[in-house]
Structure 1
Amino acid sequence: MPFFTNDAIVLGLLIVVVAWVFYTSNSPKPFWKKFYTFVPSILLCYFLPALLNWPLGLIDGEESNLYFVASRYLLPASLVLLCLSIDIKGILNLGPKAIIMFLAATVGIVLGGPLAILVISTIAPGVLDVGNGEEVWRGLSTVAGSWIGGGANQASMKEIFEVSDDLFATMIVVDVICANIWTGFLLYGASITKKVDAWLKSDTSAIDELKDRVEKYQASIAKIPNLSETYMILAIAFGGTALAHWGSDVIAPLLEARMDWLEKYSLESLASGFFWIVVIATTVGVGLSFTKYRKYEGAGASRLGSVFIFILVATIGMRMNIREVFDNLGLFSIGITWMLFHVIIMVVVAKIIRAPFFFVAVGSQANVGGAASAPVVASAFSPALAPVGVLLAVLGYALGTYGALICAQLMSYVSP
């Protein structure tokens, strides 16, 4: 039982933690300057809430509703604001490498699952026995659905392969912990991206040009906002969020009524309400970027969007219970091995085509983390790049069920 169960208290703790990280990261003291040279601030915003969960036991991310609130309300609001000054031409100029790395990430997950089962079944065959005679590969199919698409794809795999509730609950833990550990590495990598890009021998000119163009535009219109402008930014953010939820409430039930047709073409994810919230919020932001409302970027639209993103980061982090890793070491060994194969395939492809590390990180997270965390990782490189993460994550939704089905079949072939 956590010490604090009131979400108002939990939210206060999370914001205090995030504020402390930003305060110390901007401190002129030599200790903090040296400390943040090695530990990126966004990584602390992610892992410190996890420590509040365990071992401190102050909060429980699973019992709290804050992640739901942040992902359903603050995430779409941040997407609207971060897309408000989007440079469509600059994103198109990024070229095909972003798509190639996204597809490499998908292939890495599809092949990583069966390869992980082969390796672990050879080293420790007992891991594949969960004690009730149920085949582990069926449970792992739900992880594949989550890592390529998202929650809707994960639920689809559960139904398709008739995964028991007990095994499904265990696989959710494997999914969340392994994905969060990898997200932590990506957030750290964002802080040393120049070193990684030098090793990959990648051409980052298109990314640098996009960041420079957005930052110069922001600087050219920057001003101290008055109360009216602040409220206009909030109206844009949460008006867009309201529109996204309304559209989702209309579209998702219509598609659910046609689930038989969607299942025929493996498009069940299109009936996900969260999918449409993300798509509509992004569309609203991109649409407004062509209007006079774009000028509110100068009053701090993307800065407020970043505030929402960091609160989301903290709520994602608090859901990671590190203790559960030790309770499921065998299955986690499969998950970690799976993730390693995913990483190896991505690094090899990035090395061959000399893709920037940004494409590696966002392509991976668009698969593994989906729309909730892909813009977070993209923002770690630059807030100007957040829309790239969103667009790739939406593509992940579309491919999720197809990739997971292929992965599941391969895992069934190699399972003892």
Structure 2
Amino acid sequence: MISSPLFYLFTLALLVAVIALFEQKSRLKLFKYVPSFVFIYLLSMLLASIGVFEQNEAIDAIYKNTKQNLLPAMLFLMLLQIDIRDFFKLGKSLLIAYSLSLFSFAFAFIFISLLFDFNKEMASAFGALSGSWMGGVANMVAVGSALNVSQEAFGYALIVDSVNYTIWIIFLLFLTPFAHRFNNFTASHEQMAKLDSIIGCACTIGAKRYWLLILLAIVVALGVNLVASSGFVLLNYTTTTVVLATVLGILGSFTKLKTINGSSEVSKTMLYMLIALIGSKALLENFGGVGFYVFAGFCILVIHALIMVIGAKILKLDLFSIAIASLANIGGVASASMLAATYNKALVGVGVLMAIMGYIVGTFGGLAIGNILIWMTK
């Protein structure tokens, strides 16, 4: 049994490193449908469930402090290389499709919450999930932390996200050959938008760059926690740090800080560590009702799909536009790019832009939906 807080963090870091390395070296197709962060969460939860981690004050304290500082640091770096201006170059039809996707998810979460009569725990779990389905897993972690979602409820949200995402991406890929028929149904014309520039940087960078990014992230984390502890509070302490870190990341993207390459790699590492931390506080025995959560999540997708199809018919949107807008929200950069490539390789950039915009929208949208769902339980 691990009782040392430093050994506790080392074990989780080692778990993250092993899974990430295995994903990179093995190149299994399994990771295309079940993201590596799911395995990180499940294995860290398994270690906690079999009693590997001792429940003591020292471990609880380092868990709280690490999560409290790692979360704003991750959000800041994640947003640092996003250029909002590129998103608005996509064109009218794609912007309408993206807006429709956000609206449909917001409506679906609220409607299903009313239909299933969510209790406070379910409301908070689906509030965190809305952050993911409007942005990405990083947004789900941020929203879940801000809403004080329990480890078990967050685990439910993560499982729902993984299961329904897998079903959804397979369904959207299946629809690709039928794009012409759908476009005839909506009387639309496919959007063949192309990007004039590459988003981010694919270059290999040295260790000095990584250390500079980590230093910046530490400064931001210390800064936002200092502000939150000084008495300036938005809803609660964590919400304050999340919002401030998000705003600083967006502002930083308009400065020369954007030219420091590697922020996505460092922020991804921080995200994986955060997921391992959350998983280490969950227990397998508390996951008996996950099937109900998965079904509710599937119902949200059905309502989302119906609104997207109806909207496409009224607004004359093509299948590519609504499919990529949907998957950019649910899946993120990798899956949105893959789906875009099945239509035309020149459209990959569209998927990238929509997905990275979700990193901004997901946190604020998830916080809004989450608080509405929790308010509805009162």
Q: Shorter-chain TM-score: what band?
A: 0.5 to 0.7
Contact 2:194–2:349 (CA<8 Å) still a contact in 1? no
2:111 is the counterpart of 1:115: yes
Q: What's the TM-score, normalizing by structure 1? A: 0.54
**1:185: Cα distance to partner?**
1.3
Task: Output aligned runs, 1:306-317, within 5 Å.
Answer: none
Q: Secondary structure at the match of 1:202?
A: coil
| Matched AA of 1:252 | A
Quote the Cα distance in structure 2 between the aligned partners of 1:360 and 1:385.
14
Distance 1:375 1:159, change over 3 A: same
- Pair 1:377–1:271, CA change in 2 (3 A): farther
Say if 2:131 and 2:363, in contact at 8 Å, map to a contact too.
yes
Aligned to 1:257: 222
CA distance in 2, matches of 1:181, 1:359: 19
8 Å contact kept, 2:121–2:153: no
Looking at structure 1, the residues matched to 139 and 166 of structure 2 have their Cα atoms a distance apart, in angstroms, of: 18
Matches of 2:325 and 2:360 in 1, distance apart?
14
The DSSP-based 3-state class of the residue aligned with 1:364 is: helix
Alignment of 1:164 with 2:153, yes or no, is: no
What residue identity is the alignment partner of 2:100?
A
Structure 2 residue corresponding to 1:358, chosen from 291, 316, 320: 320
Amino acid across the alignment from 1:167: A
**1:358-397, aligned counterparts within 5 Å?**
358-397=320-359
Aligned ranges for residues 193-204 of structure 1 at < 5 Å? 193-204=179-190
> Displacement, 1:10?
7.1
- Give the CA deviation at 1:114: 1.4
2:136·2:359 contact (CA, 8 Å) conserved in 1?
yes
Maintained 8 Å contact 1:145/1:157 = yes
Cα deviation 1:273-295 (Å, max 9, x = unaligned): xx98xxx99998xxxxxxxxxxx
1:179 aligns with 2:162: no
Q: Distance in 1 between matches of 2:301 and 2:161?
A: 10
SS in structure 2 opposite 1:135?
helix
Tell me the amino acid that sits aligned with residue 113 of structure 2.
I
Kept in 1, the 8 Å contact 2:127–2:369? The answer is yes
In structure 2, distance between residues paired with 1:335 and 1:194: 29
**Alpha carbons of 1:410 and 1:387: their partners in 2 closer, same or farther (altered >3 Å)?**
same
Measured in 1, the distance between the counterparts of 2:21 and 2:308 equals: 41
Q: 1:337, CA displacement in angstroms?
A: 0.9
In the TM superposition, what is the alpha-carbon distance from 1:201 to its structure 2 partner? 1.6
Aligned residues between the structures = 278
Q: What root-mean-square deviation, in Å, do the aligned CA atoms of Structure 1 and Structure 2 show? A: 4.5
SS of residue paired to 2:149: coil
**Residue type of the partner of 1:263?**
T
Q: CA deviation at 1:144?
A: 0.8
Residues 60 and 149 from structure 1, CA distance in 2 versus in 1: closer, same or farther, beyond 3 angstroms?
A: closer
Is the Cα–Cα contact under 8 Å of residues 142 and 157 in structure 1 kept in the other structure?
A: yes
What is the distance in 2 between the residues matched to 1:63 and 1:271? 33
- Secondary structure of 1:239 counterpart: coil
Distance 2:311 2:98 in 1: 11
Identity across aligned pairs (percent)? 23
Change (3 A) 1:339 1:269: farther
1:342 aligns with 2:304: yes
Question: Post-superposition shift, 1:353?
Answer: 1.5
- Kindly state the Cα deviation for residue 14 of structure 1 after the two structures are TM-superposed: 4.5
Partner residue in 1 for 2:275: none
Q: Which residue of 1 aligns with 2:243?
A: 266
Q: 1:6 to 1:166 in 2, by over 3 A?
A: closer
Unmatched 5+ stretches in structure 1: 18-43, 51-58, 65-75, 80-87, 122-127, 214-235, 285-324
Alpha-carbon displacement from aligned partner over 1:290-333 (angstroms, at most 9, x marks no partner): xxxxxxxxxxxxxxxxxxxxxxxxxxxxxxxxxxx996221112
Distance 1:13 1:144, change over 3 A: same
Residues 125 and 154 in structure 2, CA contact (< 8 A), matched pair in contact too: yes
Structure 2 length-normalised TM: 0.59
Change (3 A) 1:170 1:406: same
For residues 110 and 288 of structure 2, the distance between their equivalents in structure 1, rounded to whole angstroms, comes to 23
| Change in 2 beyond 3 A, CA 1:256/1:12 | closer
Matched, 1:142 2:135: no
> Which residue of structure 1 aligns with residue 204 of structure 2?
239
Residues 61/195 of structure 1: CA separation in 2 closer, same or farther (3 Å cut):
farther
C-alpha distance in 2 between matches for 1:362 and 1:241: 34
* Match in the other structure for 1:82: none
The alpha-carbon deviation at position 382 of structure 1 amounts to 2.2
